[in-house]
Amino acid sequence: MQFPFNSISNKQEMQISLPIVPSKIPSIFPFHHPIYPPHPPHKSLSFQTQASPFKSLKTSGYLSTISRAIDEEEEYRKARAAVTRKGIEVEGYFIEGLSIGGHETCVIVPELKSAFDIGRCPSRAIHQNFVFITHAHLDHIGGLPMYVASRGLYNLKPPAVFVPPCIKEDVEKLLDIHKTMGQVELNLDLVALDVGETYELRNDIVLRPFRTHHVIPSQGYVVYSVRKKLKKQYIHLKGKQIEKLKKSGVEITDIVLSPEVAFTGDTTAEYMLDPRNADALRAKILITEATFLDDGYSIDHARQHGHTHLSEIIENAQWIRNKAVLLTHFSSRYSIEDIRQAVSKLQSKLSAKVVPLTEGFKSIHT
């Protein structure tokens, strides 16, 4: 706050003029405790001092009250920023989207041109070439016809949509119904990809599903980067010798897969105990659900509904080798502040960076 000073005489005394203006931010200053004295608007408060011009302000409580107001406004600003934030940068990837338990889940990784689940088809998902469906609940797959139709409307190439094999036939029926009702073409490459199978998305990226545990058939996905590494038996050779072997048709490299991003979808914490899911727990980024965060709902309740309780993630923290953990799918009953508090509990148990996906959640300050 700036105080406009009148001209100061050459004497030691200084005169300060403070305009008294009513507050225009009633949400910050309680009505029963105004920071301004009850004087008419635009009158001036004048006083003289031989010392610091702010001494009287301090003793009158002005600055302490203003300080409190500034702190409250800063909290409000942070809360608004958290509500409107559209994405997170973590481990070299920008991740955005919505994941609200029972409402909608669509997590987008633009660098991979991919969306994990499609939710209600947020507009940001339309330009992703790949969609990985974890299971058939509507809050995860409901927007699929809209996604495919929108790609056609914008003259984008038909997308590749990956589903658990057990639901492929039903997804085809769903799309056929929309084709008939809308009398439109819905062009896509619908891929049934089972746990343990590998699909090449690009020459440097492949996809593998892993087993998860929900109340209906489900699976998670791991995206791997692909690179070639010289075989050990040829490491000692010089460049010309390696080139000669290569020209002669000898395979001199091994293919190395490095897990980059893992996405669980809806699942109990049981997936963390399966040795076959080790890659999900050592990927650079693990995107996992945490539907329940506190004692309001028990671990048994979470398991019965095919979900994970935060305390289970904490309990199994020893198995997590990821560089970052992105928590998703919180129940809509939680506020951003509840989620932050929960994140701090998990962060104290992990060396990995823990971040929540909070777009769509409300703050107690809003």
Q: What is the mean pLDDT of residues 173-193?
A: 96
> What's the CATH number where 126 sits?
3.60.15.10
What number of other Cβ atoms are within 10 A of residue 8's Cβ? 11
- Cα separation of 94 and 283, whole Å? 16
CA angle 115–121–123, rounded 5-degree value: 90
Average of per-residue pLDDT values in the chain: 84
The answer as to whether 149 is a domain residue is: yes
Q: What are the angstrom distances between the C-alpha of 181 and each of 119, 301, 314?
A: 21, 40, 48
- Residue 365: pLDDT band (50, 70, 90) is confident
Lookup: tokens for 332 = 């809509």
In whole angstroms, give the CA distance from residue 219 to residue 306.
12
Phi, psi of 64 (to 5 degrees): -65, -40
Work out how many domains the chain is built from and give that number. 1
Residue 125 maps to a domain:
yes
> How confident is the model at residue 127, as a pLDDT?
97
pLDDT the model gives residue 265: 97
Map tokens 């699976």 to a residue.
219
Cα torsion angle, 155, 86, 326, 120, sign: negative
d(CA 315, CA 168): 35
343 and 315 Cβ atoms separated by less than 8 Å:
no
Contact, 47 vs 16, CB < 8 A?
Answer: yes
Residues in the chain: 366
- Model confidence at 41: pLDDT above 50: no
**Is 286 within the bounds of a domain?**
yes
Structural domain boundaries enclosing 250: 88-356
Q: Helix 168-182 to helix 144-153 angle, to the nearest 10 degrees?
A: 50
76 falls within a domain: no
Is 164 domain-assigned? yes
- Give the amino acid at 339: I
Mean pLDDT of 102-128: 97
pTM, 2 dp: 0.74
Residue 130 lies in a domain: yes
| pLDDT tens digits for range 206-237 | 999 999 999 999 999 999 999 988 888 778 87
Phi-psi region of 362 (alpha: psi -120 to 50; beta: other; left: phi over 0): beta
pLDDT at 347 over 70: yes
Q: Which helix (H) or strand (E) holds 260?
A: strand 253-263
* Beta-bridge partners for 282: none
CA distance 259 to 284: 7
C-beta separation of 132 from 162 below 8 A: yes
The residue ranking higher by pLDDT, 177 or 5, is 177
Q: Angle at the Cα of 223 (from 222 to 224), degrees rounded to 5?
A: 115
Domain membership of residue 78 (yes or no) is no
Under the banding of pLDDT at 50, 70 and 90, the label for residue 13 is: very low
Q: Is residue 168 part of a domain?
A: yes
